[in-house]
């Protein structure tokens, strides 16, 4: 069954992806397009509703993003959020002005009209406001639907045209019943059927994979992370033995990680895995290398070579591969205006470990339409163990970028032991799943200590733990002192080569999550 679709036009809001996720939580499929999408591009998606996102600009500012006015004549229901509401008003000849007081934070929203948009909601609710401009005069045919003390026209609509605007942000968790407002728009106003779920997606994706691949063969590189594992499990369910999974041990994995990945694939997922242990090849090439970007390049480049070699070997045995499977997710695909700019630049260097563009395979990317939370839900349906689905992110270059100074096998082993203690203690304290990332860093600094009667001169180890939602910004975690003490004691007692432990209390920005 084809799903009903709602489009979010992105005007540069940090919340555009959140809007799309809320729509999907209402079981309606949603895609994001840049505000500059043409009417033809919008119509190609056959949307049953269009949401205009917020954005940082002022509608009157020079170069402010606008939408083609034709969009308002399509007869497709429209909801403008914040800047989106101001755009509607501007386009349809209402008035937008700078507010006397910039409104930022929670405000009680009084609902003035028992409209479908607010069906099932209390008559007053807390709404999240964040705006400098607001609509001061409605366009012809519009009526007020809700107000706050500072913003009389906090929600307005034209039922004939099915065009609505709200000044507050229903997509953020602070707004009470915000998800319900979005659900009301897509289900009651646009009339979308609630058909989008991971159950329906799984069936559809399996069908599509079978159609795309036919009798062909697929190769998939897996890392033990969420995305590649879910992609592999889904493809395996669709085409079974036509899929070959390859897992490369690059020598900079955590303690026991390679064995664990092999075990999960074999015993729990029952997916055959070609395990390539290239630890010594990587470590030979990395030996003595200190420069972070050089480490990344060596690891990325060597991975490609090893993967290609394994692919060739498997092809010689069982015939050619036609497709390469990848666990690309929707946020990587969106041509969003809000992810351009500095954050995109920061991200690009993280993709060094990817596969080469000139590989002669067609791509199978069954997660291209999904957000991370949907991937996890799908993974649970595919019986992927909870621990793997919710494990903290781990960078492609692994421990190499947590080992400052020259890489040696011996120093890696020291870091591996210290890191295992951090993981174990954080896990035991029940904090593992509420922390974005937690790990040990081995510094090249040596400090003096005493152990028993002996003077020591060993390395300093740093502990890092951060809260984050997207790795773009992060806060250091206020770990309990007892836990920090326990981690420090254990590392110093159990790991030869470390005699001092410090805790990193830098947030991002100005710091980064990793130390390199």
Nearest CA to 59 among 88, 79, 86? 86
How far is C-alpha 171 from the chain's CA centre? Answer: 17
Helix, strand, or coil (residue 96): strand
Angle CA 376–377–379, to nearest 5? 60
Mask for 272-301, x = binds ligand XMP (CB under 6 A): ------------------------x-----
Task: Check residue 471 for interaction with ligand XMP (CB under 6 A).
Answer: yes
Catalytically active residues, by annotation: 82, 169, 171
Q: Is 390 in the site for ligand XMP (CB under 6 A)?
A: no
Return the H-helix or E-strand segment holding 11. Answer: none
Q: DSSP code of 294?
A: H
Build a one-symbol-per-residue string for 481-510: x at contacts with ligand XMP by CB under 6 A, - elsewhere.
---------------------------x--
Give 227 or 377: the residue with its C-beta nearer to ligand XMP. 227
| Pattern 61-80, ligand XMP, x by CB under 6 A | --------------------
- Give the nearest distance from C-beta 463 to ligand XMP in angstroms: 15
- Kindly give, in sequence order, each residue whose CB lies less than 8 Å from that of residue 213, ignoring residues fewer than 6 positions away: 238, 239, 242, 322, 323, 364
Closest to ligand XMP by CB, 190 vs 400, is 400
Residue from 94, 224, 251, 396 binding ligand XMP (CB under 6 A)? 396
248: contact with ligand XMP by CB under 6 A: no
Instruction: Look at residues 101, 97, 94, 6 and name the one whose alpha carbon lies nearest to residue 53.
Output: 6
Query: Which CB atom, from 186 or from 252, has the smaller least distance to ligand XMP?
Result: 252
Q: Which of 28, 117, 238, 513 binds ligand XMP (CB under 6 A)?
A: 513
CB of 107 to ligand XMP, least distance (A): 34
Task: Identify whether the C-beta of residue 197 lies closer than 8 Å to the C-beta of residue 339.
Answer: no
The CB-of-438 to ligand XMP minimum distance in angstroms stands at 11
Q: How far is the CB of 439 from ligand XMP (least distance, A)?
A: 9
DSSP structure string for 401-446: GGB-S-B-HHHHHHHHHHHHHHHHHHHHTT-GGGSSEEEEEEEEEE
Binder among 66, 152, 350, 467 for ligand XMP (CB under 6 A)? 350
Span interacting with ligand XMP, options 104-112, 348-356, 422-430, 450-458, rule CB under 6 A: 348-356
When asked if residue 271 is in the footprint of ligand XMP (CB under 6 A), the reply is no
How big is the chain, counted in residues?
Answer: 516
| 514 near ligand XMP (CB under 6 A) | yes
Place of tokens 């990325």: 300
Rounded CA separation 287/251 (Å): 11
The DSSP-derived string for 464-482 is EEEE-SSSSSBEE----HH
Query: Do the Cβ atoms of 223 and 247 come closer than 8 Å?
Result: yes
Minimal distance, residue 397 CB to ligand XMP, in Å: 5
From 256, 393, 406, 480, residue interacting with ligand XMP (rule: CB under 6 A):
393
Nearer to ligand XMP, 5 or 228 (CB): 228
Q: How does 357-385 read in b/e, with b if 16+ C-beta sit within 10 Å?
A: eeeebeebbbbbbbbeebbbbbbebbebe
What is the SS3 assignment for 193?
coil
The region of 34-42, 77-85, 214-222, 389-397 touching ligand XMP under the rule CB under 6 A is 389-397
Ranges within 406-445 binding ligand XMP (CB under 6 A): 437
Applying CB under 6 A, does 253 fall inside the site for ligand XMP? no
Q: Is 372 in the site for ligand XMP (CB under 6 A)?
A: no
**From the list 72, 205, 395, 403, which residue makes contact with ligand XMP (rule: CB under 6 A)?**
395
Q: Which residues, 6+ apart, have CB-to-CB distance to 351 below 8 Å?
A: none
- In DSSP notation, 257-279 reads HHHHHHHIIIIIS---EEEEE-H
Contacting range for ligand XMP; rule: CB under 6 A; set: 112-120, 390-398, 405-413, 446-454: 390-398
Q: With CB under 6 A as the contact rule, which of the stretches 58-66, 167-175, 346-354, 403-411 interacts with ligand XMP?
A: 346-354
Count of residues in contact with ligand XMP, rule CB under 6 A: 16
Chain contacts with ligand XMP (rule: CB under 6 A): 296, 346, 350, 352-353, 393, 395-397, 401, 437, 471, 508, 512-514
């Amino acid at each position: 069954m084809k799903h009903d679709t709602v489009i979010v036009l992105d005007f540069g809001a940090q919340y555009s992806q959140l809007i799309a996720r809320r729509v999907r939580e209402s079981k309606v499929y949603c895609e994001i397009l840049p505000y500059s999408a043409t009417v033809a591009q919008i119509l190609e998606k056959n949307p049953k509703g269009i949401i205009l996102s917020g954005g940082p600009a002022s509608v009157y500012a020079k170069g402010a993003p606008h939408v083609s006015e034709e969009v308002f004549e399509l007869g497709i229901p429209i909801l403008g959020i914040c800047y989106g509401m101001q755009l509607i008003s501007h386009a349809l000849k209402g008035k937008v002005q700078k507010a006397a007081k910039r409104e930022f934070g929670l405000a009680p929203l009084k609902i003035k009209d028992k409209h479908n948009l607010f069906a099932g909601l209390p008559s007053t609710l807390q709404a999240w406001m964040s705006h400098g401009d607001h609509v001061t005069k409605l366009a012809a045919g519009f009526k007020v639907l809700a107000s706050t003390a500072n913003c009389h026209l906090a929600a307005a609509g034209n039922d004939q045209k099915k065009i609505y605007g709200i000044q507050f942000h229903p997509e953020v968790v602070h707004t009470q019943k915000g998800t319900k407002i979005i659900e009301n728009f897509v289900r009651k106003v646009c009339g979308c059927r609630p058909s989008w779920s991971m159950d329906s997606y799984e069936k559809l994706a399996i069908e599509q994979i079978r159609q795309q691949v036919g009798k062909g063969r697929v190769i998939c590189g897996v890392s033990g992370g969420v995305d590649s594992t879910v992609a592999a499990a889904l493809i395996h369910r669709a085409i079974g033995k036509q899929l070959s999974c390859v897992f490369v041990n690059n020598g900079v994995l955590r303690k026991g990680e390679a064995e664990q990945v092999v075990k999960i694939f074999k015993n729990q997922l029952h997916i055959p895995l070609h395990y390539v242990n290239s630890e010594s090849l990587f470590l030979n090439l990395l030996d003595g290398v200190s420069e972070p970007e050089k480490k990344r390049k060596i690891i990325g480049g060597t991975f490609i070579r090893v993967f290609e070699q394994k692919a060739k070997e498997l092809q010689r045995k069982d015939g050619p591969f036609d497709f390469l499977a990848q666990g690309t997710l929707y946020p990587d695909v969106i041509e969003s205006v809000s992810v351009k700019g500095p954050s995109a630049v920061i991200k690009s260097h993280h993709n060094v470990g990817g596969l080469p563009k000139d590989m002669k395979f067609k791509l199978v990317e069954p997660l291209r339409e999904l957000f991370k939370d949907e991937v996890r839900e799908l993974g649970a349906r595919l019986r992927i163990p909870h621990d793997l689905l919710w494990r903290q992110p781990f960078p492609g270059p692994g421990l190499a970028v947590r080992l400052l100074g020259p890489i040696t096998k011996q120093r890696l082993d020291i870091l591996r032991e210290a890191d295992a203690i951090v993981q174990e203690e954080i896990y035991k304290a029940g904090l593992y799943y509420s922390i974005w990332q937690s790990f040990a860093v081995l510094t090249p600094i040596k400090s003096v200590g005493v152990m028993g009667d002996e003077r020591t001169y060993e390395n300093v180890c740093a502990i890092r733990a951060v809260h984050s939602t997207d790795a773009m910004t992060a806060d250091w975690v206020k770990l309990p002192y007892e836990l920090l003490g326990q981690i420090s004691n254990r590392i110093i007692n159990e790991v030869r080569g470390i005699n001092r432990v410090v805790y990193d209390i830098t947030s991002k920005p100005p710091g980064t999550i990793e130390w390199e």
